[in-house]
Amino acid sequence: MSIIERITSRQARVGVIGLGYVGLPLVIEFCKAGFPVTGFDVDPAKVEMLGQGKSYIRHIESSSFAPFLNNKFRNQEANALMVTTDFSGLAQMDCIIICVPTPLNINREPDMKYVFNSTRSVAKSLRKGQLIVLESTTYPGTTDGDMRKILEETGLKAGSDFHLAFSPEREDPNNRDFSVRTIPKVVGGYTEACLGAAKALYDCIVNRTVPVSSTRVAESAKLLENIYRSVNIALVNELKMLFDRMGIDVWEVIEAAKTKPFGFQAFYPGPGLGGHCIPIDPFYLTWKAREYEFRTRFIELAGEINTSMPDYVAFQVMKVLNRHGKSVKGSKILVLGLAYKANVDDYRESPSFHLIEKLEQMGAEVYYNDPYIPEIEMTREYAKYAGRKSTKISADFDLFLISTAHDEYKSINFRALGVPVVDTRNILHEKDEDKFFKA
């Protein structure tokens, strides 16, 4: 039986490596579609929680996967879900999807160890007929170049012995308008046969697949999506700083401009970029471009502007405190929102960390409040903040700094608290020239 026949008959065993914001939703959709699924992760804590039917991602309900759990995995059983840290089980999988982080190292260069280590784990038990798909955002040439070389060290050849493809993730945590099934899925294969197998797999869980001519086109499409956002956010961030000097409200300008029914799409400024995509992915292409003796000036300029925003916000905080007869040094500041976007518990690459660090370097006593993040867990970049707990909002602070637009903050009567507020997300619509300031 061919791989496509096994997929269409729901007999193919699907393995997903990486059970985070991308991998776990995929696991759930494949279970719903009737596949036997195994989730692999190197984090024992995650695997233990999932094995107990508990979700560690706030917007993913435990009930969405718990009914499928069957840790005594039986071959050919539809809807069975097993989660494990034992990667030897990859040998039993027909289709393997890699959804692991692709961060930057301390030199702002691609850190590919998670992708390549996962690929080596796959290679240990690679067999004929398997389909291997990478979903992690990366530079063009990763799949058909670096990954293929690792897999072909086994003696098996991509395109003839096994199938190889790339299909970029398009997750937007807690977006209630779009889901894995409703977001079109770009798919690129190493060969036509590879594309056919990958398309058949994703056709089972999404409403529309978008086949492209190669893995490199698929990899580049994902980078374009995020670079497009990065550049346009940099544009409004720069305009925000200019309009502030001119006494013009950039948010009012954007609201007016977006009434044009064509030729304009609204982007909004903020205290810096957050999440695992926009602050990181553009630099994957910038790094790869050097191999071709090409400088991506537009991307680099956008990066400079966006990464400078925490400095701008910290300066605005200093001005507001000075206006109230206080210095930054010794002031108690409460940062409202640790998550990188509203109404989620995801704080990967959050600009709030940068703001806390900068204000502490200036001598401030800084706390944070976030209704979705009661305590900061260990992170790669900001391990020093692990264990800090969310602080209650009260009048005991010298300044509030709104960094995330959580809905909970929109109903707070800040005027009654009597504390100056620096708002980076345009939450406050009341006018109070003495207490409320936009940044």
Phi and psi at 373, nearest 5°, equal -130, 85
Q: How far apart are CA 172 and CA 187, in angstroms?
A: 18
Whether 204 is catalytic: no
Contact assessment for residue 435 and residue 414, using Cβ atoms and an 8 Å cutoff? yes
Strand 37-40 with 81-84, pairing: parallel
Q: How far apart are CA 89 and CA 327, in angstroms?
A: 59
Contact assessment for residue 190 and residue 164, using Cβ atoms and an 8 Å cutoff? yes
Enumerate the active-site residues: 277
